[in-house]
Amino acid sequence: MPLPTGDTIGILADNLRMRNSVLPISAKSATSWARGLHLPRGAKTVLYTGMMYQLIPYIAAMSKAQAGIEDSFLANFVKLGRQVNKVINISAFMAMPPKSMRETYNRLLVNIALLLQRAGVQFGYLYEDELYSGALVYDLGADDVLKAHARKVYGTFQKYGVKNVITVDPHTTNMLRSVYPTLLDGYDLNVKSYLEVLVERNIEPKNRLDREVVIHDSCVYARYENVLNEQRTLLKNAGVTVKEPAYSGKFTLCCGGPAESLYPKKARARAEARVKQLKEVARNCVTMCPICYVNLQKAAGGEIELADISSYLVQAYC
């Protein structure tokens, strides 16, 4: 039996409404990556993590739990779970990722911050005031919850007088750049992905990376936000040989990640199919979306080495 769709969405939506995030994550663990970077609190330009990278370890842990529940008698209890969730944060019990995994993802955010600094960008960070963008809830069609949440997020930016937002992942880029303007009147933030900012700033490489990688485009960057050249430019300038897999660029094949929250098994099957295509081209694979990264990682099975693009860029440019 698949997971009860309505109740699962219900849990996620309730979480967003009551706890400002689809999965609860403490302010401490969400902001710990910035420790030691001395980023100013708020600024005209801010780096906005959207919590995606921080959330991934939790989502991975939860979906592992869900995949276990899916097709088992426990699926029946998710419905009950939604009622309980309103009082007790049940996701917190379901999902507790190992520390090493959290550190891996935190490192990626540090990389991005270092790259931006290297490119001479002056930016701040909202620390614990930063909120999740609501991407998952948007995808699931919980529009009313999303609208209220978007207003909160925008309110926070306004509070700090933010004008320019630098995003780190495609889903958050899409939410802030393309979805929020349709939900909020007078929305005036200038939103760019850090990849776009780095190219705009003509960042120069310090080290040459003589490596061959296969690139896995994010659907959202490629087809929603038209971010197709930046990642290639940055890699090529660093001396990386970029190989294109079957289905790339505008026609990239989805990693399956978006099915994660409702159909973990389907998500896994899609990821396996994509890994098969990638490994035919090169052993090292670059991703630029935390969801692609985690979902492909599960299916990689040691056959390909996955790395977020920031790991390569930081080696070349910092």
Partner 1 sequence: MALVNPGFVDAVKQSEAFNASACMNCGVCSAVCPMGIELLPRKLFRYVLLGLEEKVLENTETIYSCLLCKMCEANCPARVHIAENVRFLRSYINKKVFKL
By beta-carbon proximity to partner 1, the closer residue of 171 and 232 is 171
Q: Among 262, 278, 300, 309, which residue interacts with partner 1 (rule: CB under 8 A)?
A: 262
Subset of 218-247 contacting partner 1 (CB under 8 A): 219, 223-224
Distance CA 151, CA 303 (A): 44
Place of tokens 């320019």: 164
Token code pair at residue 258: 């978006």
Q: Which stretch binds partner 1 (CB under 8 A): 64-72, 108-116, 159-167, 216-224?
A: 216-224
Smallest separation (angstroms) from partner 1 to the CB of 273: 7
Smallest separation (angstroms) from partner 1 to the CB of 284: 23
- 22 belongs to the binding site for partner 1 (CB under 8 A): no
Q: Among 102, 192, 268, 270, which residue interacts with partner 1 (rule: CB under 8 A)?
A: 270
Q: Among 126, 142, 213, 304, which residue interacts with partner 1 (rule: CB under 8 A)?
A: 142
Q: Among 138, 180, 194, 312, which residue interacts with partner 1 (rule: CB under 8 A)?
A: 138
Smallest separation (angstroms) from partner 1 to the CB of 132: 18
CA dihedral 283, 287, 290, 292 (to 10 degrees): -70
- 75 belongs to the binding site for partner 1 (CB under 8 A): no
Q: Among 121, 198, 254, 278, which residue interacts with partner 1 (rule: CB under 8 A)?
A: 254
SS (H, E, C) 58-126: HHHHHHHHHHHHCCCHHHHHHHHHHHHHCCCCHHHHHCCCCHHHHHHHHHHHHHHHHHHHHCCCCCEEC
Which positions ≥6 away from 291 have C-beta within 8 Å?
52, 56, 169, 171, 218, 255, 257, 258, 260
- 83 belongs to the binding site for partner 1 (CB under 8 A): no
- 273 belongs to the binding site for partner 1 (CB under 8 A): yes
- 266 belongs to the binding site for partner 1 (CB under 8 A): yes
Integer distance in angstroms from the first to the last C-alpha of the chain?
49
Distance CA 30, CA 94 (A): 18
Smallest separation (angstroms) from partner 1 to the CB of 255: 9
Distance CA 294, CA 85 (A): 26
Q: In a 3-state reduction of DSSP, which class is residue 269?
A: helix
Specify the DSSP class assigned to residue 111.
H
Rg of the chain over CA atoms, in angstroms?
Answer: 19
By beta-carbon proximity to partner 1, the closer residue of 3 and 213 is 3
Q: Which residues would be at the binding site for partner 1 (CB under 8 A)? A: 2, 5-7, 9-10, 13, 138-143, 145, 219, 223-224, 250-251, 253-254, 256-259, 262-263, 266, 270, 273
